[in-house]
Amino acid sequence: MATVDLKNINKVYDNGFHAVKDANIHIKDREFVVLVGPSGCGKTTTLRMVAGLEDISSGDLTIDEKRVNDTPPKDRDIAMVFQNYALYPHMTVHDNMAFGLKIRKFDKADIQARVNEAARILDIEALLDRKPKQLSGGQRQRVAVGRAIVRHPKVFLFDEPLSNLDAKLRVQMRAEISSLHTRLNATMIYVTHDQVEAMTMGDKIVVMKDGVIMQIGDPLTLYNYP
């Protein structure tokens, strides 16, 4: 179970810039929600507030009806996949995936089981001993997703995860992430500036512009919007 609610969420950066204005989003358990809009409209800021990587200026963020505004990121039961993959270059694929569990003091056998399971799900079992620089872009992206999967989080956050991939791979990875959503039964929030990506992947689409939510709806409803 994981519902996520943003209630009147605002973000004003230290320099006074009002990046997110009164955002209200209700995300149901297991829903795949896409935040879409042009560069600079506040998508990443919104996602980072959900992750706890950015302070919330005002409003209430709740996960499963518990207010988490002041809960540190590591206690939020959330895992995030970044645009630039954010892999540790000196660590192997295995160690990249294991790292988040090690620092959370999971025991060795559990870490091994979770890494093996994620590698199997993502079809990267043959790459476990490689370093990131020995991987293709698509393979790196899989490792980044694997690092989130091993945590077994209730909520997955994706920040433009496919934007560094070529067009063909991007289409393939869209389908893979959609099938992962079905398989893991998790709630997912996905940020993209690509409208086609939003329409093909989202159960619910949140359209942002200049820090404001303009529309929320399912792909069909939005498609028919005048």
- Using rule CB under 6 A, residue 187 touches ligand ADP: no
- Using rule CB under 6 A, residue 225 touches ligand ADP: no
CB 40 within 8 A of CB 46: no
What sign does the dihedral 189-195-197-202 (CA atoms) show?
positive
For the bound state, the minimum distance from the C-beta of residue 19 to ligand ADP, rounded and expressed in Å, comes to: 4
- Using rule CB under 6 A, residue 104 touches ligand ADP: no
Distance between CA atoms of 164 and 141, rounded to whole angstroms? 9
Burial of 117 (0-12, 13-18, 19+ CB in 10 A): middle
For the bound state, the minimum distance from the C-beta of residue 114 to ligand ADP, rounded and expressed in Å, comes to: 8
Among the residue ranges 90-98, 124-132, 177-185, 213-221, the one whose residues contact ligand ADP (CB under 6 A): 177-185
CA separation (Å) from 84 to 158, 164, 220? 11, 7, 31
For the bound state, the minimum distance from the C-beta of residue 134 to ligand ADP, rounded and expressed in Å, comes to: 25
Tell which positions 30-69 bind ligand ADP, by CB under 6 A. 37, 39-45
Q: List contacts with ligand ADP (CB under 6 A).
A: 13, 15, 17, 19, 37, 39-45, 117, 149, 152, 183-186
